[in-house]
Structure 1
Amino acid sequence: MNLCTRLALVLALGGLLCGCGAAPGTRSGPAQERPFWRAEFGGAAATRPAEESWNTETGNRDAEGWGNNELQYYTDDAANSALDGDGHLLISARPAPAGSELPCYTREFCTWTSARLTTEGKTALTHGRVVVRAKLPTGTGLLPAIWMLGNNGVEWPGQGEIDICEVVGAEPRTVYGTAHGPTYFNENGIGGSTTLPADASRAFHTYAVDKRPRRITWSVDGKPYFTLTPSKLPAARDWVFEQDMHLLLNVAVGGDWPGPPDASTPSPATMTVDYVRFYGEGRA
């Protein structure tokens, strides 16, 4: 056995014994293994998420129903967003307390409260991957969402929006991933969907977007289901995603897409977030 043959044999055995090498379809390297920003949600039960990482947006009427005629009033109360003491963030939609008189856009008062958290001004992704492990609430009138908005200072939809995942109303096993931009927004957003083996509220899943130059790929549990490139837009010049984008987590109630809640809608309806991780390039 010559030297080259011996060396090849040693390398092959080393790979088998050590488990070296990336699995098919994965990327190796530090960006894959070590996120540049992460939120793991350690802390005592009923405490609020860390202010150095998260903003809490509030209101409804002044935000014009959050653009979708939604019925929830977002609060900064622990009843709507807090840690559970077991390493999770809970974002809970629940009926508004009696007599709360929270001003609503489509009616006098909002009948539900919820929470909307963002990383705007805190951290953002330029190019790389966002991974969120979460369990999402399902039921009539609910619209939990994990999504991103651009930091370019342009008014929406020119701002750019990437919906990492949405689960709407009475479609508890369907995950939607969508992009919105200057000429493709609301019902004309461009995206795809995939089907879970059971309702999104039954188990944790990893919802992710791989945001690369002129290419965005959506996946659930590591399985890609849709890729967007400029060639799929009405005009390639309307690609607005080569910029920093921040993350949002919220549970909406009612509105144009899911319709109103009813007696079957769970209360509280809770998004349970295990972790958020940003890989690649960005600002932390």
Structure 2
Amino acid sequence: MKIQVPATSANLGPGFDSCGIALAKYLVVEVIKPQEKWEIIHHLGSEIPSDENNLLIQTALQVAPEIMPHQLRMISDIPLTRGLGSSSSVIIAGIELANRLAHLNLSAEEKLTIATKIEGHPDNVAPAIFGDFVVACYDEATEQVLSVKHYFPECEIIAYIPSTELLTKESRQVLPQSFEYKEAVKASAIANVMIGAVINGNLALAGRLMEQDLFHEKYRAKLVPHLSQIRQICQRSKAFGCFLSGAGPTVLILTPKEEVATLMDQLRLLDNHAQIEQLAIDREGVQVF
């Protein structure tokens, strides 16, 4: 059995802690055989545990504490701590691992509720489960997650992935504790129209609004100085727009196909250590083979 979970990009600018898209980069977990102790075979670095201390196993045991230990193989091309949902992908894989080994028959909605309680918000875990573009919110009072999946319009996606990591905790610390009422209304209006534009397939408008976020990007700007540089490059081209992926430091650019080559050439000039990739939307979410 193999479990495949896509990378994700959260927020899309003003859709803070609510909107996300699934991307065609993947974490794959292969279940090899049962054995006395948990063992994960991987080449992801010595800092990633290979035993029950791995987030994958910790998540699975939260969902189904009695499942038998197995030998697993983990392969991932999702970069760690770069704002592309690496931890969310492991959480979803852990939930699916428990679901299959314990024969729980969890629905997608039940998986989303469990994942949101672990992760704290649904913006990454929802598209990792459902694929495509998902808008979701978590009601702590009822412990319900409400979500809507929709087709994200076809476009080219360029990811600018810096060589330096940025921890979500560090990126969260720069955010304000409260918002002025008028500012919150304005920020919410921008997010609402952005979502409407995506649903209508109007990426030119959606991209403009993604760049007008008031919830988080201006506070995180000092941690990701390349964001303003990339935005200037996009505004000189016919790109639809760019936004900080999750908590950063990765920046995603949405663009027509004819602009890709020029944009990638200009992005390479910013930092020759950065990873620059063309990505696609994953439409399926988590899959088991």
Task: Please give the range of the TM-score, normalised by the shorter of the 2 chains.
Answer: under 0.3
Higher strand share: 1
TM-score where L is the length of structure 2? 0.25
Higher helix share: 2
TM-score where L is the length of structure 1? 0.25
